[in-house]
A and B are shown apart, each in its own frame.
Chain A
Amino acid sequence: MSDMALGNEHHHHHPFLQHHFEDLGQQHEASTLGMWMFLCTEILFFGGVLCAYWVYRVMYPEAWAVGAHLQQTGWGATNTIVLIVSSLTMALAVRAAQLGKRGQQLGFLFATLIFGTAFLVVKGIEYHRHWEEGLFPGSHFHWHEHPELAQKVQLFMCFYWGMTGLHALHMIIGAGLLLWIMWRAYKNHFGPEYYAPVEVMGLYWHFVDIVWIFLFPFLYLIHEVHHG
């Protein structure tokens, strides 16, 4: 087969160069662009439910404020910080890959995994509490402090569970991908020439972080609307 159309000599056949690409540069650009395209769809995926959330927030401001006050802000803030740290370690893992430092890379990936898991554990604790308190929408929703707001608060809780659940699902998928990347890093697959998978993993992870950056104020920190 002839790759000579572009006639560049210095590229030896890298083991991870796929047959249909001309060179690693093209392959790298294609993978990152592909992930960006995927993130576009993710933005609209979360954006859809966010739009519904805002429609109702504008309709039922009181219920939304009450709903947010049912959350424990401490846990939410902790989780925000945890996730930001994991984003930092992820970014550093990509950097280590670029520099070809395998040990560092593994360490940072592992740290990312740990923080990601910590996030999920905290979320689990919150879920457990909500479940116990009867804050899961449906037949066993009990929450009577303001009976007249109960329905709309339930609506809020639909969004709470739906949005955080979707986010948590993304975290779980991310954790799975991390394990796979760690395995490849362990096998010493990555280096300055070829680190696209780590980079792409990073893009995904940071995106999931961004989603939470918005979810936190939207679900935990709604300031009460004051009546005159």
Chain B
Amino acid sequence: MMVADFPLWPEQASTFAKDVDALYIFLIILTGTVSVGIFLTIFGLAIKYRRRPDNELAQDYEPPKILEVTWIVVPTIIFMGLFVWGSWLYFHLARVPDDALDIYATGKQWMWKFQHPTGQREINTLHVPVNRPIKITMASEDVIHSLFFPYFRTKMDVLPNRYRSMWFQATKTGRFHIFCAEYCGTLHSGMIGWVEVMEPTEYQKWLAGGSEGSMASQGEQLFQKYACNTCHTNDATGRGPVLAGLYGKDVTLSNDTTVKADDNYIRESILNPQAKVVKGFNPIMPTFQGQVSEDDMMKLLAYVKSIGQNTAPATTPAPAGAKGTNP
């Protein structure tokens, strides 16, 4: 069993993997050459000029100073190249494609909870379609965790105080590891799971099975449960601003600055409404800190998002299933 299962290289299962591996291989060759070169030089010289009776004294010789300049300038240039390459990859990973499929993740000691916009929830397993960018929006309920997909060559820390999002596009179907990579207490090494990459049709089938209604519609119910609708009505008569059409727009605040209504803005508006007060409204919205769990928060977010795209409240989810397939 030991020998059979002895990988020296992780499988490449995302679009990103080969790019990262390319840089890795380049670095191995570059630094390998340099390191081996230095090693051999040291040993070579140490043997050649080893102390012998006729070599008790070093020769009075100084290598030319131009060497010094060379080995300052050349590495610097190489390093700048590495910087550009590494940054290019990083930037690429930071920019989530617009057409990515939304998935929500919560880290919690010691499990991963995933929610699909259509309402499916799963723990420690994540089903995603192949060949389609997936965006994971995530937060932690307690300490810092880190969602790590080694075969996709990506990971990101999950924070307790704000949303962050990462993305990947799987290129192979199959089961791949998920690890928690940021130490989070007793069962940190047990906070593991699997990502199941499926054909889009399979994925649609899977989505169709057992769900409690889409996240947005569950969010809508919560919207009533928390009595948000008493102030946020569908027309301009409420005490709070109309939330339809809000998501992704710029909001003008009472101090005349504008902010983009993104995930973290919505989250903050609910947890700490007075931090950014919308122009023309009184700061009367109560805080929901401590009342709304991370799961519910994500549903509320999904709801606010859903009514952001089409002005009517979403009753039917706009599932972000694979293109052209019917659920």
Touching chains A and B, CB distance < 8 Å: yes
Query: Which A residues have a C-beta under 8 Å from some C-beta of B?
Result: 60, 62, 146-149, 151-152, 225-228
Q: How far is the CA of A148 from the CA of B268 in the complex (A)?
A: 12
Q: Which B residues lie within 8 Å of A227 (CB)? A: 254-255, 277
Kindly state whether residue B133 has any CB partner on chain A within 8 Å.
Answer: no
Partner of A148, one of B255, B256, B279, B286: B286
Shortest distance from the beta carbon of B265 to any chain A beta carbon, whole Å: 14
* Contact flags B265-276 to A (C-beta < 8 A → 1, else 0): 000000011110
SS of B interface (majority)? loop
Asked if residues B273 and A148 are in contact (CB atoms below 8 Å), the reply is yes
List 8 A–B pairs whose Cβ atoms lie within 8 Å, in order of A's numbering: A60-B275, A62-B274, A147-B286, A147-B287, A148-B272, A148-B285, A228-B254, A228-B256
For chain B, the bracket of interface size reads 10 to 19
Q: A60-B275, A62-B274 are in contact. Are A148 and B254 (CB under 8 A)?
A: no
Q: Which B residues lie within 8 Å of A60 (CB)? A: 275
Q: Which B residues lie within 8 Å of A228 (CB)? A: 254-256, 279
Q: A148-B286, A148-B287, A151-B289 are in contact. Are A225 and B274 (CB under 8 A)?
A: no
Asked if residues B274 and A146 are in contact (CB atoms below 8 Å), the reply is yes
Give A150's nearest chain B residue, CB to CB: B287
Q: Which B residues lie within 8 Å of A226 (CB)? A: 255
Given contacts A62-B275, A148-B287, A228-B279, 20 further A-B contacts (CB under 8 A): A60-B275, A62-B274, A146-B274, A147-B286, A147-B287, A148-B272, A148-B273, A148-B274, A148-B283, A148-B285, A148-B286, A149-B274, A151-B272, A151-B289, A152-B272, A225-B255, A226-B255, A227-B255, A228-B255, A228-B256
Give B275's nearest chain A residue, CB to CB: A60
Give B285's nearest chain A residue, CB to CB: A148
Give A149's nearest chain B residue, CB to CB: B274
Q: How far is the CA of A225 from the CA of B276 in the complex (A)?
A: 13
Q: Which A residues lie within 8 Å of B279 (CB)? A: 228
Shortest distance from the beta carbon of A76 to any chain B beta carbon, whole Å: 26
Q: Which A residues lie within 8 Å of B274 (CB)? A: 62, 146, 148-149
